[in-house]
Amino acid sequence: MALVAVLLGGLSPERPVSLSTGAGCVAALKQLGHDVCEIDPQDEDWIEQLRAAKPSAVVNTLHGAWGEDGRVQGVLEYLGLPYTHSGVLASALAMDKAKAKAVLAPAGVPVAAGKLMDRREAAREHPMALPYVVKPNAQGSSLGVFIVRQGANRPPEQLLDPDWSYGEEVLVEEFIGGREFTVAVLGEKTGPRPLAVTEIIPAGEWYDYHAKYAAGGSRHDLPAQIPESVAADMMRWSAIAHEALGCRGLTRSDFKWDAATGRAILIEVNTQPGMTPTSLAPEQAAFVGMDYVALVKWILEDASCPR
Catalytic annotation, pick one of 141, 238, 253, 279: 141
Exposure string (b/e) for 39-69, b if CB count within 10 Å is 16 or more? bbbeeeebeeebeebebbbbbbbbbbbbbbb
Q: Is 169 a catalytic residue?
A: no
Which residue in 15, 248, 252, 307 is the catalytic one?
A: 252
Radius of gyration, CA atoms only, the chain: 19
Question: Active-site residue among 9, 10, 12, 14?
Answer: 14
The catalytically annotated residue of 274, 279, 292, 307 is 274
Cβ 294 vs Cβ 28: under 8 Å: no
Bridge partners of 200, per DSSP, are 180, 220
Choose, from 254, 283, 302, 307, the residue flagged as catalytic: 254
Catalytic residue check, 118: no
Is 218 designated active site? no
Neighbours of 32 (CB within 10 A): 15
Which of 173, 180, 268, 283 is catalytic? The answer is 268
178 catalytic, yes or no? Answer: no
Report d(CA 16, CA 97) in Å as an integer: 22
Q: Is 165 a catalytic residue?
A: no
Q: In degrees rounded to 5, what are phi and psi of residue 27?
A: -60, -40
Transcribe 230-285 into DSSP letters: HHHHHHHHHHHHHHHTT--SEEEEEEEEETTTTEEEEEEEESS---STT-HHHHHH
> Which residues neighbour 108 within 8 Å (Cβ) at sequence distance 6 or greater?
237, 240
Task: Kindly list the distances between the CA atom of residue 111 and the CA atoms of 86, 122, 224, 266, in Å, as whole numbers in the listed order.
Answer: 22, 21, 21, 5
Interstrand relation of 3-7 and 35-39 (parallel, antiparallel or unpaired): parallel
137 has catalytic annotation: no
* Catalytic residue ranges: 14, 141, 213, 252, 254, 268, 270, 274
